[in-house]
Structure 1
């Protein structure tokens, strides 16, 4: 009987632990709410593609450009846009091949994607922005900071990496990350101009992920834009040690660890995420 009770206690303990993990904020993948009404939206012809964009708010001062991550789309920023557009002009877009934007046969590359966003800003007549980048969006932000620092005021780069080895080898085994990929496929099929080509799109962009980014310490040292390197304390995809390395090799960069959050911190803790942006960029 004693052995049975011990075994039963361990079983209950295991179930409770699994339940606790399931209830953890960092293991969740909330749906973003609907986006607010944009001031304007449309598609811009840039670098041989049609790039979907939307602009929110009309406040003066430095505009905020928000760039989503790989396989994602602009509407993932809905919580942040609703808040930040009260006192900022906020620009979002779907990166090439993502969401409502088209792609072509040109190989994906972070330099090219950075060029897309700069061309979009030119189309909108915007010379300089504060930039919030998540995952691939953070990498694009770092690329702009290296090569076109005159276009940036500040850079908030969350869950970015500067070498391919900065991505965890077991990321595809994570349930939350798998759920994100599945959801991204559903969004693509509903919104893309080529709804039946999700697998082809993933294969095409995977060619970039296999070899990029691959920046040296000297490359990172060229960044002079005020930068925050940000990571959720339970990030499924990006290695914490690599994030610390990035922050230590970018001049003046500040390392920020978001508590009880993962790769998808903007969805899991929208208020805390927005507060972190505001604390860095200044303003209300």
Structure 2
């Protein structure tokens, strides 16, 4: 309950704040928040009518399928720095999670089981038997839920800045300029993309309830994961405590811990060359 109240308070503060001044050149990479590049033109795009919602997706390239799951408050466009690099070799799928971006939501409360069910329904629709997943934040938590429930549908997982309990959140996140900037960016993008652009405050409240109680993965559940998996974070992560990330990696026997240097929760934007190279090596099994 304490975590929930703190998160509600922080989100309320964030929603009332405006974007701080653009980062100065003297700031270090982890102190900056460069916005991602636009996505390239997709090979296909559309809405999947699944589980009572319209789930927006786009696909790029050809080859073994790789699904990118965005982070909290985000949307598929936030992978603009990664898709061109990955689509040279893989069939890349991006989605707007339910209620995010262009996707709709119904009256169900958010849960990682529900988000995972949406992924499975989309894979079925696209006739994809197995997929590798790159999950960031909430996307990483959804990927962990899939590894627990549906390991037979997965090849390998790259989990970045995820948590297995609400206690993994850093409570000083409100002191970080990057998160203030990010919340403002996410609000503007929600209002631009959503079919209900005036529903952002309700959207925030529903997510804050969600984050106050989930994820809640047990050591026993995590210990049963045997897929090739990387548990990664930036060495200046503003959202997840380092010791929590390290504990998560220890509980998964097949996991490898990876801490990326000089970046934060937003590593894919701050150093896309490093992030993309890391993803490509992982997908190649190296």
Q: TM-score, normalised by structure 1?
A: 0.90
- When Rg is computed on C-alpha atoms for both structures, the one with the higher figure is 1
What is the alpha-carbon distance in structure 1 between the residues aligned to residue 155 and residue 174 of structure 2? 35
Residue among 247, 255, 258 paired with 1:256: 258
* 1:73 counterpart residue number: 75
What is the alpha-carbon distance in structure 2 between the residues aligned to residue 22 and residue 50 of structure 1? 44
1:122-153 CA deviation, whole Å, 9 max, x = no partner?
Answer: 11111111100000000000000011001110
Shift of 1:232: 0.1
* 2:175 counterpart residue number: 173
1:183 aligns with 2:185: yes
Q: SS at 2:133's partner residue? A: strand
1:19-58 alignment, distance < 5 Å: 23-58=27-62
Cα gap change, 1:283 to 1:218, in 2 (>3 Å): closer
Q: SS at 1:238's partner residue? A: coil
Q: SS at 1:160's partner residue? A: coil
1:191-206 alignment, distance < 5 Å: 191-206=193-208
* 1:16 counterpart residue number: none
1:6-21 alignment, distance < 5 Å: none
- Contact 1:21-1:27 at 8 Å conserved across structures: no
- Contact 1:164-1:211 at 8 Å conserved across structures: yes
Runs of 4 or more off by more than 3 Å in structure 1? 19-22
* 1:157 counterpart residue number: 159
What is the alpha-carbon distance in structure 2 between the residues aligned to residue 185 and residue 172 of structure 1? 16
Shift of 1:31: 1.0
* 1:15 counterpart residue number: none
What is the alpha-carbon distance in structure 1 between the residues aligned to residue 196 and residue 26 of structure 2? 35
**Structure 1 gaps, min length 5:** 1-18
What is the alpha-carbon distance in structure 1 between the residues aligned to residue 285 and residue 59 of structure 2? 19
- Contact 2:159-2:230 at 8 Å conserved across structures: yes
Cα gap change, 1:232 to 1:21, in 2 (>3 Å): farther
What is the alpha-carbon distance in structure 2 between the residues aligned to residue 98 and residue 223 of structure 1? 28
**Structure 2 gaps, min length 5:** 1-22
What is the alpha-carbon distance in structure 2 between the residues aligned to residue 30 and residue 20 of structure 1? 11
Shift of 1:222: 1.3
Residue among 222, 225, 238 paired with 1:223: 225
Cα gap change, 1:40 to 1:20, in 2 (>3 Å): closer
- Contact 2:225-2:254 at 8 Å conserved across structures: no
What is the alpha-carbon distance in structure 2 between the residues aligned to residue 259 and residue 21 of structure 1? 19
* 1:11 counterpart residue number: none
- Bigger relative contact order, structure 1 or 2, given CA contacts below 8 A and separation 6+? 2
Provide the aligned C-alpha RMSD in A.
1.5
1:82 aligns with 2:84: yes
What is the alpha-carbon distance in structure 2 between the residues aligned to residue 240 and residue 155 of structure 1? 19
Cα gap change, 1:225 to 1:85, in 2 (>3 Å): same
* 2:4 counterpart residue number: none
Q: TM-score, normalised by structure 2?
A: 0.90
Q: SS at 2:197's partner residue? A: coil
Residue among 233, 240, 245 paired with 2:247: 245
Shift of 1:20: 8.6
Q: SS at 1:142's partner residue? A: helix
Shift of 1:105: 1.1
What is the alpha-carbon distance in structure 1 between the residues aligned to residue 113 and residue 120 of structure 2? 11
